[in-house]
Structure 1
Amino acid sequence: MPHWVNRPEGSNWGDFGPDDQLGTLNYIGPDQRRAAAAEIVEGQAFCLSLPLDLPGTLVLNPRRKPPVLAPTRLGEVPYINYPLSEVDPILRDVLSDDQVLLSTQYSTQWDSLAHVGALFDADGDGVAERVYYNGHRPGHDVMGAGAEGEHGSYARRLSVCEMAKTPIQGRGVLVDFVRHFGMDRRIVTRRDLEEVLEAQQVEIRRGDILLLRTGYAEALRDMQDAPDPERLDRTGAVLDGTDASLQDWITQSRIAAIAADNYAVENPHTDPQACCLRLPLHHHCLFKLGLPLAELWDFRDLAQALEARGRHAVFLTAPPLYLPGAIGSPVTPVATI
């Protein structure tokens, strides 16, 4: 049975089954993976991740903190450069062993479908309640404090671990906004996107993962020694989440996911009087379609290689951490051409 009576207009709730947790990742199947593998011609691989201690000197989200590494401990003993001869004099091993405190969406990352929900009357009782993709609910599927054992939060459903189990592997298609528009800030409508697709002869297929190069992550890396947050705010293209025709294009294209090199993928609304969504594209993708979004990837080297070869598609491997309950995840995407 579905988890809802009403489903949002323009959504695909229930299309992949009443209990679906994968959304548009269902578009990636064996045929799509075989087609993606055919994009490997040279066997050259590119890491698409920023170092996970970036954005570093520039604060993008005050809730999200840079990783803090520390040694593991046995009692009060830190296991960094630790000689096992302290335990047994005949042993010659020296061990180092660490752990990390990490905001899962601080740097190069995936949003899970538990990241953004909405107030929506899924029950059909006339009262809007908090709900996530396919009718999944807070308090039962996405848990808060005291959720599971010692965890302070825990997504029992819609977690990134579902994306890891799939796993995310398919045809990535690069749309190079930098090459077409330059590095300045631009709000990209459907017309703009289709203009770039035509100019760069980019073919979009069902199950593709759309890779958007805006130049934002490149500027972020370059600014570490001379931070300039105002210039960063004027850097790179962002999708116009308010463009209903762009939302329709995302739905009708049957893409599986969107990965951008910027922060938030779209242009967030900052007008407190604007109704009714601060992140309308997140609402459309994560809440309505179950279409995962990724942020702060690094496309510079890949873009240069693809442009030199007159290509746009890659074999992409980008599973999140298989971390049960996690709502977001760092990722080290690899593109092979």
Structure 2
Amino acid sequence: MEVPGRRPLPELKDLPLGKGDPPFSAWGLWENTQLGSLNYLTDEVVLATARDEFRTGIRVGLNLPVDFISPALLGRVGFSKNIHNKAPRVINDDIITFNTQCSSQWDSFRHFAYQAEKKVTQDDIHSDPCSTINGLDAWSAKGIAGRGILIDYVDWAHERGIQYDALTNHPIPVDHVKEIISEKNITIRQGDILFMRTGYVQAYAKLTELEREDLSKRRGSPGLGQGRETTEWLWKSQFAAVVADSVAFECSRESFLPRPLTSGIAF
């Protein structure tokens, strides 16, 4: 399905669109580059989703408590709350400090840039305290609302006797994701938000305090396996965004492939 008024989606092999742009970047494909693939979430797409998908008025929060991951991972600053007592009147102010990476969050484009090309530099972002370059400002203007599809890899793997440690590096093959989509008769639509359940949060909740302390110093978590085939599939599926219940949507390891989509952690 193509969106009226938009350029046809180029093949991944034809990226980048502009001479001198970083590998696999799609700059110039959409009018609002700050939105990236969130451009798929047009008013028409969101309206159709609300009209066709809503069955009840039940609302479900997908975000973790901001103090759930404790201590914060990889040396980050954790959550801190101070309740300011304004006695003698019964008035209290909550003073909260935390790194946005310490719990559920969306990764903005400024979080992890093209490292070698340096099209956006640290100076571009930090020279102005009010800089909005590649931040969340464009996203928050309308918020993110759309049709979500859930890939429950945990249950699917359990049914097939696939054993893995949900707190360590475990690449989920894209072929397994395709199998789940086929078995569950899921239809992917342009602008869908892909949710991946890996089991990380469920496993983390069972850890002791000492085990959490040890985990906070280690890198590695389950996620979609990286590779050309995975990137091709994500690109062709035209997801508006991808999220997961683990440290990163993709399998966490030292090297990362360029990501053409917005991504976040739904936990």
Q: TM-score band (shorter)?
A: 0.7 to 0.9
Cα deviation, residue 70, structure 1: 2.1
For residues 267 and 67 of structure 1, the distance between their equivalents in structure 2, rounded to whole angstroms, comes to 25
1:172 equivalent to 2:148? Answer yes
1:189 equivalent to 2:173? Answer yes
From 130, 136, 141, the equivalent of 2:118 is: 130
For residues 199 and 46 of structure 2, the distance between their equivalents in structure 1, rounded to whole angstroms, comes to 28
Q: Read off the aligned partner of 2:106 and give its amino acid letter.
A: W
Cα deviation, residue 221, structure 1: 2.0
Cα deviation, residue 279, structure 1: 1.8
From 89, 103, 108, the equivalent of 2:104 is: 108
1:294 equivalent to 2:264? Answer yes
Q: Deviations over 1:272-307 (max 9, x none)?
A: xxxxxx122xx2x2xxx2x22112x34xxxxxxxxx
Q: Read off the aligned partner of 1:55 and give its amino acid letter.
A: I
Equivalent residues, number: 238
For residues 108 and 39 of structure 1, the distance between their equivalents in structure 2, rounded to whole angstroms, comes to 25
Residue of structure 2 equivalent to 1:25 = 38
Q: Deviations over 1:120-140 (max 9, x none)?
A: 4xxxxxxxx412xxxx44423
TM-score, normalized by length of structure 1?
Answer: 0.64
Q: Deviations over 1:20-77 (max 9, x none)?
A: 21100000012221232132202222111111102115x5221x22211124xxxxxx
Residue of structure 2 equivalent to 1:82 = 87
CA contact 1:66–1:106 (8 Å) conserved in 2: yes
From 266, 270, 279, the equivalent of 2:256 is: 279
For residues 210 and 24 of structure 2, the distance between their equivalents in structure 1, rounded to whole angstroms, comes to 44
CA contact 2:74–2:219 (8 Å) conserved in 1: no
Unmatched runs of 5 consecutive residues or more in structure 1? 72-78, 85-93, 121-128, 149-153, 271-277, 299-337
1:96 equivalent to 2:80? Answer no
Residue of structure 1 equivalent to 2:6 = none
CA contact 2:223–2:252 (8 Å) conserved in 1: no
Q: Read off the aligned partner of 2:263 and give its amino acid letter.
A: L
Residue of structure 2 equivalent to 1:45 = 59
1:238 equivalent to 2:216? Answer no
The 5-angstrom pairing of residues 9-20 of structure 1 reads 9-17=23-31, 20=33
Distance change >3 Å, CA 40–CA 226, structure 1 → 2? farther
CA contact 2:156–2:180 (8 Å) conserved in 1: yes
For residues 201 and 105 of structure 2, the distance between their equivalents in structure 1, rounded to whole angstroms, comes to 13
From 198, 212, 221, the equivalent of 2:205 is: 221
Higher relative contact order (CA 8 A, sep 6+): 1
Distance change >3 Å, CA 236–CA 184, structure 1 → 2? farther
1:143 equivalent to 2:139? Answer no
1:69 equivalent to 2:81? Answer yes
Q: Read off the aligned partner of 1:210 and give its amino acid letter.
A: L
Residue of structure 2 equivalent to 1:162 = 138
Counting aligned pairs with the same residue, the percent is 26
CA RMSD of aligned residues (A): 2.5
Q: Deviations over 1:131-180 (max 9, x none)?
A: 2xxxx44423x225xx32xxxxx542111122111321111111110111
Give SS of 2:45's match: helix
Distance change >3 Å, CA 262–CA 209, structure 1 → 2? same
For residues 114 and 103 of structure 2, the distance between their equivalents in structure 1, rounded to whole angstroms, comes to 25
For residues 202 and 34 of structure 1, the distance between their equivalents in structure 2, rounded to whole angstroms, comes to 20
Residue of structure 2 equivalent to 1:87 = none
For residues 190 and 33 of structure 1, the distance between their equivalents in structure 2, rounded to whole angstroms, comes to 27
CA contact 1:219–1:235 (8 Å) conserved in 2: no
CA contact 1:26–1:256 (8 Å) conserved in 2: yes
